[in-house]
Amino acid sequence: MTVATDSSTRTHYSIQTRDLNLWYGKFQALKNVTVDIRPRLITSLIGPSGCGKTTLLRCFNRINERYGNVTTTGEVTILGRNVYDEDISLSELRKSVGMVFQRPNPLPISIYKNVLFGIRTHTRRGAFPRHQRDEMVESALRDVQLWDEVKDRLRRRATHLTLEQQQKLCIARLLPLKPRVILMDEPCSALDAEGTERVEALIGDLKRQYTIVIVTHNMAQARRVSDECIFMLLGEIIEHDDTVQLFLNPHKEQTEMYIEGRYG
Amino acid sequence: MKKLEQELEQLRERVAKMGDLAEAMVVEAIVALGEPLDDSHFQRIQAEEDRLDQLQLDIDKEAIRLLTVYGPVAANLRMILSVSRINSELERIGDQTVSMCNHIQLMVSKSDETLLPQFQGMARLVRAMLHDTLKAFRLEDSRKAKSTMANDELVDVLNDEIIRELLGGDRSNGAGRREVAGAVAQIMISQSLERIGDQACNVCEQIVYMVEGADIRHRHPA
């Protein structure tokens, strides 16, 4: 994906949607979603199950389209380009917009090869000499605070790592592609309390370089990790605000009821 | 160290700095008692009061943020609650120093009185109480906080003595306007010092609550 020149007001935001609607068959999962997501911040999407938060997240790298029978209208502009334009390359889009899933999904190959998997699928074979590949692996693993733990066993299968290490590896796998946006769908739900704490700390570090959007069921996590928070209900955005403000002084009654645990 | 702990440590440090500022203002006001014709003390206190007010707002905002973001419990929760209360006490101590300045100026401009000698001891005592209170806060030392509170009785005794002396003697028999102004100013100054002592005690109570979880407010010693 080619990034538009940084001259318009749009560059204040990494992700913008305008009147985004999405249907799974006849069921409308997103309704007129208009939202602006700022760079180098962590934005969390919260709301009860089925509110559309994961669907919205999946619009940002068009991964929803893997399921048939999906209709989308409206605009999603990422780094200045509408990702639903006809001339958008999906593979380029997914390079710029990486994704981390609920359950860590390392490939059953070595740690080393996992880190390079993404970049290898996006470049011709032999594009990088050995020393450059080594550097990429070390840098990515350092960025996710995994290097010291795995540097002596890079050739071992990644599936032998703990779940926390696997999830960090899945984040590391995105980094050689130099993404601008990282989408995370419940990235800590498979982890124990300590693993969650360390992955949250990692996410906090990564925000200096990336735009991070995180879907979470866990409101305490949304409060802890995110700078801005979007509350969704029945496919609509109810409120989008600074996280402290949203949890301290919500403007909409539905938000207040949800965060106080009175429904959802 | 966990993130919440780091942030609490930073909050504690900010309160300690606010305490230092309040203490510096009290010292300045006490110096002004001895140099009532020197305006620079009053000017500095005015400027510092603005800083103190801003610190109060910043610390409260941060305390609310930590409560909202982390939903802390136990010692962490007590610490944030205490910080919020200590914050208010420190701000009021700043207000008392401004009030002291106003009454020092009243005394100089409207009377020929000189301060009663008891003020010296009272000021020394109050200053030491505040200093010890802030030290107890930094060290999270509830024993020191409790022992500091004991000094408040002496401050009260000196305050009563000052008021008794100003209301008694020759003054009760047809005192002139300048004498009345001088007496009123001194009573107000004494009241301010006494209040600073009380506020230091309130901070000590919060230190005990923070460290031990015991609420010792309104428990008068037998």
Q: Could you report the per-residue pLDDT of A111-129, keeping only the tens digit for each?
A: 999 999 999 888 888 889 9
Reported ipTM: 0.75
Closest by CA to A49, choosing from A263, A243, A254, is: A263
pLDDT at B205: 97
Rounded Cα–Cα distance for residues B216 and B209 (Å): 7
Mean pLDDT over each residue of chain A, to the nearest integer: 92
> Which among B2, B68, B71 has the least Cβ separation from residue A244?
B68
| Residue to substitute from A202, A248, A255, A260, interface B, most B β-carbons within 10 A | A248
**Angle at the Cα of A206 from the Cα atoms of A126 and B80, rounded to 5 degrees:** 165
Average pLDDT over residues B35-39: 92
Phi, psi of A179, rounded to the nearest 5 degrees: -70, 160
Asked whether the predicted pLDDT for residue B194 surpasses 50, the reply is: yes
Asked whether the predicted pLDDT for residue A97 surpasses 90, the reply is: yes
Q: Could you report the per-residue pLDDT of B76-120, keeping only the tens digit for each?
A: 999 999 999 999 999 999 999 999 999 999 999 998 888 999 999
Cβ-Cβ contacts under 8 Å for A71 (sequence gap 6 or more): A22, A23
Taken in order of first residue, the domains within chain A and their CATH numbers are 9-105+179-259 (3.40.50.300)
Rounded Cα–Cα distance for residues A1 and A91 (Å): 8
Taken in order of first residue, the domains within chain B and their CATH numbers are 3-212 (1.20.58.220)
Q: Answer positive or negative: Cα dihedral of A163, A165, A167, A173.
A: negative
- The strands making up A70-78's β-sheet, listed across from edge to edge, are A27-37, A15-24, A70-78, A81-82
Cβ-Cβ contacts under 8 Å for A126 (sequence gap 6 or more): none
Give A216's pLDDT tier (boundaries 50, 70, 90): very high
Contact A248 B2 (CB under 8 A): no
Q: A66: buried, middle or exposed (CB in 10 Å: 19+, 13-18, 0-12)? A: exposed
pLDDT at A121: 87
Chain A residues with CB under 8 Å of B2 CB are 197
Q: Is A103 helix (H, G, I), strand (E, B) or coil?
A: coil
Q: What six digits make up the tokens of B138?
A: 């930094």
Average pLDDT over residues A234-251: 96
**Phi-psi label, residue B133: left if phi above 0, alpha if psi -120 to 50, beta otherwise:** alpha
Q: Answer positive or negative: Cα dihedral of B68, B69, B75, B80.
A: negative
Rounded Cα–Cα distance for residues B23 and A154 (Å): 58
Across-strand partners of A229? A44, A241
Phi, psi of A77, rounded to the nearest 5 degrees: -105, 120
Contact B69 A201 (CB under 8 A): no
pLDDT at B173: 61
Nearest CA in chain A to B61: A244
Q: What six digits make up the tokens of A251?
A: 């403007």
pLDDT at B170: 60
Rounded Cα–Cα distance for residues B92 and B53 (Å): 9
Give B172's pLDDT tier (boundaries 50, 70, 90): low
Say whether pTM exceeds 0.90. no
pLDDT at B177: 80
Q: Could you report the per-residue pLDDT of A134-151, keeping only the tens digit for each?
A: 999 999 999 999 999 999
User: Which helix (H) or strand (E) segment is B189 a member of?
Assistant: helix B177-212
Rounded Cα–Cα distance for residues A243 and A220 (Å): 11
Asked whether the predicted pLDDT for residue B67 surpasses 60, the reply is: yes
The amino acid at residue B145 is A
Q: How many CB atoms lie within 10 A of CB B46?
A: 13
Chain B residues with CB under 8 Å of A247 CB are 68-69
Mean pLDDT over each residue of chain B, to the nearest integer: 93
| Residue to substitute from A200, A205, A224, interface B, most B β-carbons within 10 A | A224
Give A65's pLDDT tier (boundaries 50, 70, 90): confident
DSSP states of B99-114? HHHHHHHHHHHH----
> Which among B3, B64, B69 has the least Cβ separation from residue A223?
B69
Distance from CA of B69 to the nearest CA of A (A): 5
Asked whether the predicted pLDDT for residue A10 surpasses 60, the reply is: no
